[in-house]
Amino acid sequence: MKITSKGQVTIPQELRERAGLMPGCEVEFSEGRDGRVFIRKLTSGRRGRSIVEKLRGQGSVRMTTEEILNLTRGS
């Protein structure tokens, strides 16, 4: 199996069916300690949660939620 110039690869039908990977499903890629790459089907809401987990603690501005909302509202 080859990866295309666009970074795409076809997942064999048998594997898609066993994993329940239907068109429109969201998946997540991760790398193991040994350099292997894994693909996992995301359950609803998982993608947003994983993004928040990765970004948690990365902000450098110390503002309350109310202060941030006031900025976005122009108050």
Domain contains 32: yes
Query: How far out from the chain centre does Cα 44 lie?
Result: 11
Give the predicted TM-score (pTM) of the model. Answer: 0.50
Domain contains 21: yes
Which tens digit of pLDDT belongs to each residue from 12-48?
999 999 998 998 888 889 999 999 999 998 876 666 7
DSSP letter for 35, please: S
More confident residue, 48 or 57: 57
Domain contains 6: no
User: Total structural domains in the chain?
Assistant: 1
Domain that holds residue 20: 11-44
Q: Report the pLDDT value the prediction gives residue 37, as an integer from 0 to 100.
A: 94
Q: What is the mean pLDDT of the chain?
A: 87
Domain contains 27: yes
Q: Report the pLDDT value the prediction gives residue 53, as an integer from 0 to 100.
A: 82
Domain contains 17: yes
Domain contains 60: no
* Residue 67 backbone dihedrals phi, psi, to 5 degrees: -65, -40
Domain contains 71: no
Domain contains 37: yes
